[in-house]
Chains A and B, each alone.
Chain A
């Protein structure tokens, strides 16, 4: 994976840039020492690391706007960062760029139960939103496994999903409005507490934009009333295929569970050691199926799912008997990735989506790849919507293992596309899948996507090096930016 060559001219101005930033953000909010910058060198994808030129931690939208305007006027690149949990390297620093952290934007600004919405700053964690409203019986539905730490700003940028997205949608289905600062420093408000707005769906454009179009400084989310009841099944199977069959049968029967998650044996063991959720250790695959809604409906669905599970060959079936038990079932799943840190020093978490029917084939081919690359793989995924999270286990201290893991990962993603799926379900493209975009999109597709980027950020200053394998000059794409007879940044890197 290569990042754009740093611009020596910008690096030479570092002292001046720091001074300008200090004038905008006082106190400890500008971080410049090498040993301090080190802590910001990567996000949740530790395979790629890069020291940022400077880190700035503003406290107000106004400060962000001034920082961006300054960067825009003087040609300095900028990388937004929430909690740094991205698994696709979306928040990976760039050598000649400022990392703009949103850690200080932690306030919940307004909770409006009547309009079922909450207005929060972008650094508020996903879980904190639910915690702020749960005493009134409400919650925020998309629940990424990283919800304890990931920020709502990061969620909007990545269009994150969670175990409950099968029924309640991804971030995009639960965000009503945002305030976003454009590269020019202009502050834009999109959407509001209502469901739809006139004009183009710019809110939809910002959601999932991976920090390439603007910096999100406020988010209005929809909050939902907690379902009357929710119960979760733990269903164990003797093979991945039978578990896959069970998922297909549940969906085919017209049942939409609140969540359907699957884990294979290595993942089950890693998780059970940490959470002691009572997962069966002797099965090959485990499904967690949650059903929610009114009491009577849930009772009926439980019986139907149980019958389907038995028909498809389940060997163990347990249903949560209390709310505590239901939460313990989920706690295991939510801690699954890092828990794998107990069986392997490093992991490479993939995120591809496949049509559900291809599940068994994909798992079988993945097992073959695992022996080919001599690397173990643990599987955790949102089985309900076909979003796979294979975790390739490796040891970064062993020479060559990271490269093997990367190649293995790329093969998995190509396989996903081959069976009719896509490169990412919810973790975003970032730098991780950037070079695979060509497997999925034609050059024309990519150019069209970049035209949108050009409309927001013609100089390519926001989160450069991410998402697009080749950076086209906006001028090339038919939108001319000529100043003084020259295209701007004629030496813009191509990589």
Chain B
């Protein structure tokens, strides 16, 4: 596509990157059809091609973000379905990330919106604060009518019970069982370990059983995706750098084979660290190195021989092999292009795996999207719930905490993380959600 940047504009590395992305777009429109917001709204402005145009216009003319542009970019889930569809290799993710930074710099949101965003940016990445907030929200639930606007939604969304902190959250090393085969670091995440500590626990049991030494590193916090998707550049850079430094300290104690991520939203982010810090000479190479080590837990597991460990009397629900609907998180499917591994692992572990129709469409969770765009998020959630229910499965497995939280309660079928089922098949506890 034609662009109109001046040489002076192109001297800015961000604009140069954006220009490269825009020029790859041939305006074929293929991406519109698989974009959840376009599917719901039918307005090209809420499609990837439309957003690309809006962003191009803003960047070329060096205009501050307009209210209209912000509206349409805010409706983007960053599900990256458009990147899977685009035959021309347009890197929409980097373009929209840059647009979000521009929005944060040049657009003043109405104050309730600003407050909500600031609140989320502070609370969600900090497990102790988040836990406190959830407990508070649960207590506040009877009074939710008193809360204004979207805070009401937040309060309503708090789970019925908030698990306590897990012993696993502290920095420590879990030795491999048997002959050590790999040394990996586990990103324990932020929101996930508050909402469902069982996921990290199952991951550690699985990995150590398969011969991995698992390090929970000191100083590793939120992956920074939360603030990154809100365009908060300074906070993003700070969190990313802290994580890089922390992983480097682990590597000083011995080489790492992988940084295992079991929340795919975080995985997509960590894999992109190299891009985030590409313009900072002191950090670019270090960021690339850490990013190159990041692997989704399913990628690591398929390389380890799981088959031998599956217990002979495979798990069952009422004596039958459980039927699992695999819900592929967008960050795994589109962000990391991992589609087959989790299904294969589940099938190898003895589950009957089904996939819902419209598997490529986002469930509406999308990080903080369900909090910031509740209407679209719940429309997508309901649509996904219908498709999942139609599979006739007894349990839903997914690889991302956001989807797990979004789908829990919406379908009427228990929702668990893929590793929880795998761990169960290999002698771990039966996920309590299965009753």
Query: Given the complex of chains A and B, what is the CA–CA distance between A223 and B149 in angstroms?
Result: 47
| Contact pick for B33, options A38, A44, A149, CB 8 Å | A149
On whether the beta carbons of A36 and B27 are closer than 8 Å, the reply is no
Contact pattern, B 22-39, Cβ under 8 Å of A = 1, otherwise 0: 011111111111100011
Set of chain A residues within 8 Å of B106, measured between Cβ atoms: none
Q: B167 on the interface (CB 8 Å rule)?
A: no
Set of chain A residues within 8 Å of B57, measured between Cβ atoms: 35, 38
On whether the beta carbons of A101 and B1 are closer than 8 Å, the reply is no
Q: A335 on the interface (CB 8 Å rule)?
A: yes
- Given the known interface contacts A39-B50, A39-B54, the answer about A46 and B2 at a Cβ–Cβ threshold of 8 Å is yes
| Contact pick for B88, options A84, A101, A339, CB 8 Å | A339
On whether the beta carbons of A85 and B24 are closer than 8 Å, the reply is no
Q: Within A333-367, which residues are at the interface with B (CB < 8 Å)?
A: 335, 337-342, 345-347
On whether the beta carbons of A274 and B89 are closer than 8 Å, the reply is yes
**Closest beta carbon of chain A to B189's beta carbon, Å:** 33
**Closest beta carbon of chain A to B101's beta carbon, Å:** 19
Contact pattern, A 32-46, Cβ under 8 Å of B = 1, otherwise 0: 010110111111101
On whether the beta carbons of A101 and B24 are closer than 8 Å, the reply is no
Identify whether the interface residues of A are mostly helix, strand, loop, or mixed.
loop
| Contact pick for B44, options A39, A341, A342, CB 8 Å | A39
**Closest beta carbon of chain A to B85's beta carbon, Å:** 7
Query: Given the complex of chains A and B, what is the CA–CA distance between A106 and B47 in angstroms?
Result: 15
Q: A115 on the interface (CB 8 Å rule)?
A: no
On whether the beta carbons of B26 and A347 are closer than 8 Å, the reply is yes
Q: B87 on the interface (CB 8 Å rule)?
A: yes
- Given the known interface contacts A33-B68, A39-B49, A396-B1, the answer about A335 and B42 at a Cβ–Cβ threshold of 8 Å is no
**Closest beta carbon of chain A to B389's beta carbon, Å:** 16
Q: B287 on the interface (CB 8 Å rule)?
A: no
On whether the beta carbons of B88 and A341 are closer than 8 Å, the reply is yes
| Contact pick for A148, options B33, B38, B72, CB 8 Å | B33
On whether the beta carbons of A28 and B43 are closer than 8 Å, the reply is yes
Query: Given the complex of chains A and B, what is the CA–CA distance between A149 and B45 in angstroms?
Result: 15
Q: Within A101-129, which residues are at the interface with B (CB < 8 Å)?
A: 101, 103-106, 123, 125, 127-128
Q: A397 on the interface (CB 8 Å rule)?
A: yes
Query: Given the complex of chains A and B, what is the CA–CA distance between A106 and B53 in angstroms?
Result: 23
| Contact pick for B3, options A40, A106, A337, A397, CB 8 Å | A397
On whether the beta carbons of B87 and A339 are closer than 8 Å, the reply is yes
Q: B69 on the interface (CB 8 Å rule)?
A: yes
- Given the known interface contacts A40-B44, A341-B89, the answer about A146 and B28 at a Cβ–Cβ threshold of 8 Å is yes
Query: Given the complex of chains A and B, what is the CA–CA distance between A347 and B25 in angstroms?
Result: 11
Q: A31 on the interface (CB 8 Å rule)?
A: yes
Set of chain A residues within 8 Å of B3, measured between Cβ atoms: 397
On whether the beta carbons of A146 and B38 are closer than 8 Å, the reply is no
- Given the known interface contacts A39-B44, A103-B43, the answer about A83 and B87 at a Cβ–Cβ threshold of 8 Å is no
Query: Given the complex of chains A and B, what is the CA–CA distance between A293 and B271 in angstroms?
Result: 46
On whether the beta carbons of B54 and A38 are closer than 8 Å, the reply is yes
- Given the known interface contacts A35-B54, A84-B44, the answer about A345 and B23 at a Cβ–Cβ threshold of 8 Å is yes
Q: A178 on the interface (CB 8 Å rule)?
A: no
Set of chain B residues within 8 Å of A104, measured between Cβ atoms: 41-43
- Given the known interface contacts A39-B49, A339-B87, A342-B89, the answer about A106 and B39 at a Cβ–Cβ threshold of 8 Å is yes
Q: B244 on the interface (CB 8 Å rule)?
A: no
On whether the beta carbons of B54 and A101 are closer than 8 Å, the reply is no
Closest to B32 in A: A149
On whether the beta carbons of B2 and A346 are closer than 8 Å, the reply is yes
Closest to A105 in B: B42
Query: Given the complex of chains A and B, what is the CA–CA distance between A442 and B111 in angstroms?
Result: 66
On whether the beta carbons of A396 and B33 are closer than 8 Å, the reply is no
Set of chain B residues within 8 Å of A128, measured between Cβ atoms: 33
Q: A221 on the interface (CB 8 Å rule)?
A: no
Set of chain A residues within 8 Å of B50, measured between Cβ atoms: 39
On whether the beta carbons of A345 and B1 are closer than 8 Å, the reply is yes
Set of chain B residues within 8 Å of A28, measured between Cβ atoms: 43
On whether the beta carbons of B28 and A36 are closer than 8 Å, the reply is no
On whether the beta carbons of B2 and A38 are closer than 8 Å, the reply is no
Set of chain B residues within 8 Å of A148, measured between Cβ atoms: 30, 33-34, 85
On whether the beta carbons of B39 and A149 are closer than 8 Å, the reply is no
**Closest beta carbon of chain B to A282's beta carbon, Å:** 23
- Given the known interface contacts A38-B53, A127-B33, A148-B34, the answer about A346 and B26 at a Cβ–Cβ threshold of 8 Å is yes
Q: A57 on the interface (CB 8 Å rule)?
A: yes
Set of chain B residues within 8 Å of A146, measured between Cβ atoms: 28-30
Set of chain B residues within 8 Å of A41, measured between Cβ atoms: 53
Closest to B28 in A: A338
Set of chain A residues within 8 Å of B28, measured between Cβ atoms: 44, 85, 146, 149, 337-338, 341
Q: B349 on the interface (CB 8 Å rule)?
A: no
Query: Given the complex of chains A and B, what is the CA–CA distance between A149 and B42 in angstroms?
Result: 12
Query: Given the complex of chains A and B, what is the CA–CA distance between A123 and B47 in angstroms?
Result: 15
| Contact pick for B42, options A39, A101, A274, CB 8 Å | A101
Query: Given the complex of chains A and B, what is the CA–CA distance between A127 and B43 in angstroms?
Result: 19
Q: B266 on the interface (CB 8 Å rule)?
A: no
Closest to A41 in B: B53
Query: Given the complex of chains A and B, what is the CA–CA distance between A341 and B86 in angstroms?
Result: 10
- Given the known interface contacts A148-B30, A148-B34, the answer about A338 and B42 at a Cβ–Cβ threshold of 8 Å is no
Set of chain A residues within 8 Å of B86, measured between Cβ atoms: 338
Set of chain A residues within 8 Å of B43, measured between Cβ atoms: 28, 31, 57, 101, 103-104
Nearest 8 pairs of A and B residues by beta carbon: A103-B42, A341-B88, A396-B2, A335-B87, A104-B42, A338-B87, A39-B50, A341-B26
What would 12 A/B residue contacts be, using CB atoms closer than 8 Å?
A35-B54, A84-B29, A85-B29, A103-B43, A146-B28, A148-B34, A149-B30, A274-B87, A335-B87, A338-B87, A341-B88, A346-B1
Instruction: Give 7 new A-B contacts, CB below 8 A, not counting A46-B2, A85-B28.
Output: A31-B45, A101-B44, A103-B38, A103-B41, A127-B33, A340-B26, A346-B2
